[in-house]
Amino acid sequence: MRFLLVEDNKDLAQSVGDRLRLDGHAVDWAETLGDASDCLGAASYDLILLDISLPDGDGRRFLGDQRRIGRDTPVIVMTARSEVSDRVSVLDLGADDYVTKPFDFAELEARCRAVLRRKGVALQTVQHFAGMTFNPLTATLTVDGQMRELRNRELRLLEILMAAPERIFSKGQICDRLFSYAESVSDNAIEVYVGRLRKKMEGSGARIETVRGVGYRLTTE
């Protein structure tokens, strides 16, 4: 998944970002609402984590504006305000959930999973395709009874491809899902991960096809 974290507290943003990256997610950090708008204009996100009090405005107004223009990206509001009226107001504005600061990281992760499930995003479900069994929870790919461990980016790449077999994904689309803006990505990074994943798929009836000049797709032999 790719998350947008809108938070002006650098220490908290780093802690949250580091925790989510350990789970394998790509995280872009926006310190202001202006930065958040720039990120949303340049990339698509699976989830937004939004602080309320930011240097250049109120996160609630930003949330309301996003809903008014039709952006339905799930939003979890992070707030230090614990009054019921405050929580009700952000939910009425279009937030999918909220978490009160200070919060436990395990609770935040659980709320992220719950919101994504409600939005229909497939998380941690075993998938089968052309003789392969893919289990994101254990980061394994089983082919002909042999279990093969997947590294973080191999796992995320396979998630992308298995979500829509036969669909062509451009390098740019894959890069957006695998890396955050803060990461330096070489020109051949995608080819490297595709090559590694192809080796682990050997023996199955599936293959990653290179569509020259366009991108990659998961198909059958």
| Helix ranges (DSSP H) in 43-188 | 59-68, 84-93, 105-118, 152-162, 171-178
pLDDT recorded at residue 207: 96
Residues paired with residue 28 on neighbouring β-strands, in sequence order: 4
pLDDT over 70 percentage in the chain: 95
Q: What is the mean pLDDT of residues 56-64?
A: 94
Which is it for strands 2-6 and 26-30: parallel, antiparallel or unpaired?
A: parallel
Binned at pLDDT 50, 70 and 90, residue 6 comes out as very high
- Whether the CB-CB separation of 59 and 77 falls below 8 Å is answered with yes
In tens, the pLDDT along 39-55 reads 999 888 999 999 999 99
Residue 194 is predicted with a pLDDT of: 95
Which pLDDT score, from 0 to 100, does residue 21 have?
Answer: 83
pLDDT band at 93 (very low <50, low <70, confident <90, very high): very high
At 160, list the tokens.
């992308």
Share of the chain above pLDDT 90, in %: 57
Q: Name the pTM for this structure.
A: 0.63
> Which domains, and CATH codes, for the chain?
2-119 (3.40.50.2300), 127-220 (1.10.10.10)
Give 156-160 contacts, CB < 8 A, sequence gap 24+.
156/24, 157/193, 157/194, 157/197, 158/134, 158/197
Residue 22 binned pLDDT confidence (cut-offs 50, 70, 90): confident
pLDDT digits (tens, 9 = 90+) for 167-216: 999 988 888 778 776 677 776 889 999 999 999 999 999 999 999 989 99
**H-assigned helices in the chain:** 10-22, 33-42, 59-68, 84-93, 105-118, 152-162, 171-178, 189-201
